[in-house]
Amino acid sequence: MNKITAREKLLKAAGELFYNNGITATGIDSVINRAGVAKMSLYNNFKSKSDLVAAYIDARHQEWLDLYAIRSANLANGWERVLAIFDAYQDHAEFDYQNGFRGCGLLNAAAEMPANSIEREAVNRHKQEVRAIVHQQLSELPFTDDSPAHLTQLTEHICFLLEGAISLAGLSKDTGAITRARTMADQLIEQAL
Amino acid sequence: MNKITAREKLLKAAGELFYNNGITATGIDSVINRAGVAKMSLYNNFKSKSDLVAAYIDARHQEWLDLYAIRSANLANGWERVLAIFDAYQDHAEFDYQNGFRGCGLLNAAAEMPANSIEREAVNRHKQEVRAIVHQQLSELPFTDDSPAHLTQLTEHICFLLEGAISLAGLSKDTGAITRARTMADQLIEQAL
DNA sequence: ACAACTATACAGACTAGTCTATATAGTGAT
DNA sequence: ATCACTATATAGACTAGTCTGTATAGTTGT
């Protein structure tokens, strides 16, 4: 029968409300109402709103990893697997566009939190992981300049393109920006080979 | 004696609190306490909190334009004036770092607001203006490929680098990212000439 | 006198989180 | 099959505090 638990309903509702309206602006009552769940079900599953936010951040991170796993499966080389990162974000953008694409949910979450908060650190870890994937995939390619410094610089360049494109795509409601950033990354890699 | 008006005190206090703690998380009382001003002074100068937020966004935009005007004055050509955009953001980053650099205040403000809100549109206009400056300065340079399409693509590439670097610099507390993005833009322009 | 300001009190809605009490479904032991 | 137990769910009242915004009376400098 695979019943949907209150926890799952809460994470789904929180995911939608947090992404669309922001975390601070979203009250506990909105979340439980949208989830169709009793308030105590929230506090039986999560210690506090902060705990729910932490679970939300975690779920978004995992969601992206899953999208990337699908997009990068069966690809021939690191080049294609780097471009698949853009595809994974594109999938993400298309998915959220129904309720109005607002850029990266994790970056938006971080934007609401004070410096040095655990939430910002969690989002930073996510972005570092994305960077590590870019670095790993690029390291398999035979660049003309195969120094570690060049690899690091190219990695960072692609990460900047990625984050910039997603943020500006969300602002200007032009998800095509992500595709164009993908093309830029593609040309960048081609040039360096 | 050049007295500081309640309005100025409020904008300064709101600027600090909104940037450091987020807009939604900052209450009216925090703002007036930090400003050292009566609550009615806020509502005599601003119709509502939203009105104060709009003024905040406007002030940040103007602040950046001023920083850019200083950085781009007396520069020889469009190339240098494009790089000066990175310098202006770097100044911004250094300035805010005292209370913990958290990236672009305008992008962070947009991140808290729902899609299609007037605040997001105001921030979008700011970013479009920055893009127009990049475009304008680049258009003065004698690129090998001087087609409008190439100019547009290079403009967008630099804008992506800019936004990505600022966001990630704020997250990872590494303001050097902005300098490195500047170098990337520099190389990009050099290559295209 | 006039304008800008301060200081407080207030209304009313909303906030996160706690509490009690109840319902239901599944498990294991006898 | 029945009983006791456990886990998870429900409804809804309740506390204690915060939120934006208003009203009112008094103060200060020119």
- Which runs of consecutive H residues, i.e. helices, occur in B36-114? 39-45, 49-72, 78-96, 105-112
How many Å does it take to go from CA B14 to C1' D5? Answer: 57
Residue ranges per structural domain of chain B: 1-46, 50-192
**Token output for B137:** 């300065």
CB neighbour list of residue A164: distance below 8 Å, 6 or more residues apart = A181, B159, B160, B161, B162, B163, B164, B165, B167
Any A CB within 8 A of B181 CB: yes
Mean pLDDT of chain B: 93
Q: What is the pLDDT of residue B40?
A: 87
What does the DSSP assignment read for A6-26? HHHHHHHHHHHHHHHH-STT-
Any A CB within 8 A of B102 CB: yes
Q: Which of chain A's residues 38-67 bind strand D, using a 7 Å CB cutoff?
A: 38-41, 44-45
Q: What is the pLDDT of residue A123?
A: 98
Confirm whether any atom of chain D, the nucleic acid strand, is less than 7 Å from CB of B49.
Answer: yes
CB contact under 8 A, A159 and B168: yes
Domain A48-192 has CATH 1.10.357.10: yes
- What architecture is the B1-46 domain classified under in CATH? Orthogonal Bundle (1.10)
How many Å does it take to go from CA B4 to C1' D30? Answer: 16
CB neighbour list of residue B85: distance below 8 Å, 6 or more residues apart = B68, B71, B72, B130, B133, B134, B162
Distance of CA B41 to the CA centre of its chain: 28
Over chain A (193 residues), the average pLDDT of each successive run of 10 is 77 93 93 91 92 95 96 96 96 76 96 94 98 97 97 98 98 95 98 95
Query: How many other C-beta atoms are found inside a 10 Å radius of the C-beta of residue B101?
Result: 21
Q: What is the pLDDT of residue A168?
A: 98
How many Å does it take to go from CA A24 to C1' D2? Answer: 51
% of chain B residues with pLDDT over 70: 96
Count CB pairs under 8 A between chains A and B. Answer: 128
Q: What is the pLDDT of residue B1?
A: 44
* Of the options 3.30.420.40, 2.40.10.10, 1.10.357.10, 3.30.1280.10, the CATH number for the domain spanning B50-192: 1.10.357.10
Q: What is the pLDDT of residue A1?
A: 41
Closest CA to A25 of B46, B30, B115, B166: B115
Any B CB within 8 A of A128 CB: yes
Task: Report how far residue B175's alpha carbon sits from residue B46's, in angstroms, rounded to the nearest whole number.
Answer: 34
**Token output for A153:** 């610089």
Burial of B3 (0-12, 13-18, 19+ CB in 10 A): exposed
CB contact at 8 A, B54 and B29: no
Chain B residue whose CA is closest to A158 = B161
As a whole number, mean pLDDT of residues B79-97 equals 90
Evaluate if residue B97 carries a pLDDT over 90.
no
